[in-house]
Amino acid sequence: MPRLTIHHKTVYRYARPVAFGEHRIMLRPRDGHDLRVLSGDLKIEPQPMSLRWIHDVFGNSVAIATFDQRSDLLSFSWTATVEHKPAEAFALTPDDPAYFYPFFYDEEEFPDLREFITPYYGDPNGELSAWARKFLDPEAPTPTFNILSQMTHGIRDAFTYRKRHEHGTQHPLDTLQTGSGTCRDYALLMIEALRRLGIAARFVSGYLFVPTDGSYLGGGSTHAWVQVYLPNAGWIEFDPTNGIVGTRDLIRVAVARDPRQAIPLHGTYLGPPDAFMGMEVGIRVVSAERVVES
């Protein structure tokens, strides 16, 4: 099982000392049968008055820091080592209830999946629904894997990846109409499209490990992708930014119904608006056997 080390540092700079409100840190990888956290170390400067860990409504690990001193600099340094065993390639057999679309969820599971099936973003002219239906075979039942795979690769091949400096995730219709966005934008577009087909999908925030000879988009930064729930298969990963199906090179940190519920780091400061000078983020995901200079 490969061991990977994550180095994540975020520094906020201010023109003068300011006070800090509560900050929530969502950086600890999410343990599972394919991912095990071996160690984790969070350093914050200035040292917070209190730091406590909780599990949010989705079971994600969240650190909450509060402060009692002013400073012109606030930094968060997170280092974690994980064992990562990518899940086997996703496959359904003709005997599986979700092999063909449409399919039905078990009546005992449906109440727990309802929030992941319900669309949350408007589609007044039906553009998003029409785009989702393009992945269906109009003449016969469509293999579910074909829908998911073709949508994943379709976004990667037809859309232009671009970094945005605006806060938050853009509306799925903006991503569809402009044909561009970030990994978070791509994930939300795919999630909302699948929900309009009645398929349960949720947002995943984490990291992408890029091997030395790799060339995937999204490396060297936090990353986002999609999980889809299928009967007898459970939650399966799909990365529309890189065309990845399964957990290869994906280090899961948090899952959520909406991207706004899975922000890696956010908080407030108390001071004039012009005091904020900027933010610097540095992220490296490397083999644990490789020595990384700080």
What CATH number should be reported for the domain holding residue 58?
A: 2.60.40.2250
Residue 283 lies in a domain: yes
Kindly state whether residues 124 and 222 are assigned to the same domain. Answer: yes
Residue 92 lies in a domain: no
Residue 194 lies in a domain: yes
Rounded to whole angstroms, the Cα distance separating 278 from 163 reads 17
Rounded to whole angstroms, the Cα distance separating 83 from 163 reads 30
Rounded to whole angstroms, the Cα distance separating 103 from 96 reads 10
Burial state string for 177-196 with b = 16 or more CB within 10 A and e = fewer than 16: eeebbbbbbbbbbbbbbbbb
Query: What ranges in the chain are assigned the alpha helix state H?
Result: 110-117, 127-133, 144-158, 172-178, 183-195
Kindly state whether residues 152 and 229 are assigned to the same domain. Answer: yes
Residue 90 lies in a domain: no
Question: Residue 254: beta bridge partners?
Answer: 205
Kindly state whether residues 55 and 112 are assigned to the same domain. Answer: no
Kindly state whether residues 122 and 157 are assigned to the same domain. Answer: yes
Residue 91 lies in a domain: no
Cα torsion 125, 129, 134, 136 to 10°: value is -150
The token pair that represents 35 in the structure block = 């991912």
Cα torsion 216, 218, 224, 229 to 10°: value is 0
Rounded to whole angstroms, the Cα distance separating 52 from 282 reads 24
Kindly state whether residues 35 and 104 are assigned to the same domain. Answer: no
CB 167 within 8 A of CB 259: no
The token pair that represents 69 in the structure block = 């001193």
Kindly state whether residues 193 and 160 are assigned to the same domain. Answer: yes
Rounded to whole angstroms, the Cα distance separating 51 from 74 reads 15
Kindly state whether residues 145 and 225 are assigned to the same domain. Answer: yes
Q: What is the pLDDT of residue 215?
A: 44
The token pair that represents 156 in the structure block = 């990667």
Rounded to whole angstroms, the Cα distance separating 191 from 262 reads 15
Tell me which residue of 116, 139, 131, 85 sits closest to 235, measured CA to CA: 116
SS3 214: coil
Question: CATH number, domain at 104?
Answer: 3.10.620.30
Tell me which residue of 65, 83, 68, 77 sits closest to 24, measured CA to CA: 65
Q: What is the pLDDT of residue 261?
A: 97
Residue 7 lies in a domain: yes
Q: What is the 8-class DSSP label of residue 91? A: -
Kindly state whether residues 272 and 219 are assigned to the same domain. Answer: no
Kindly state whether residues 105 and 243 are assigned to the same domain. Answer: yes
Question: What are the φ and ψ backbone dihedral angles of 134, each rounded to 5 degrees?
Answer: -65, -20
Rounded to whole angstroms, the Cα distance separating 84 from 200 reads 25
* Helix, strand, coil percentages for the chain (3-state, nearest 5): 20, 40, 40
Kindly state whether residues 213 and 283 are assigned to the same domain. Answer: no
Kindly state whether residues 105 and 238 are assigned to the same domain. Answer: yes
Residue 29 lies in a domain: yes
For residue 185, what are the domain limits? 100-248
Q: What is the pLDDT of residue 54?
A: 98
Residues 6+ apart with CB under 8 A from 134: none
Residue 48 lies in a domain: yes
Could you read off the pLDDT tens digit of each residue along the chain, which spans 294 residues? 588 999 999 999 999 999 999 999 999 999 999 999 999 999 999 999 999 999 999 999 999 999 999 999 999 999 999 999 887 777 788 999 999 999 999 999 999 999 999 999 999 999 999 999 999 998 889 999 999 999 999 999 999 998 776 678 999 999 999 999 999 999 999 999 999 999 999 999 999 987 765 444 444 578 999 999 999 899 999 999 999 999 888 999 999 999 999 999 999 999 999 999 999 999 999 887 654 444
Domain count, the chain: 2
Kindly state whether residues 76 and 208 are assigned to the same domain. Answer: no
Q: What is the pLDDT of residue 90?
A: 74
Residues 6+ apart with CB under 8 A from 55: 61, 62
Q: What is the pLDDT of residue 1?
A: 59
Question: What are the φ and ψ backbone dihedral angles of 208, each rounded to 5 degrees?
Answer: -115, 125
Rounded to whole angstroms, the Cα distance separating 28 from 222 reads 12
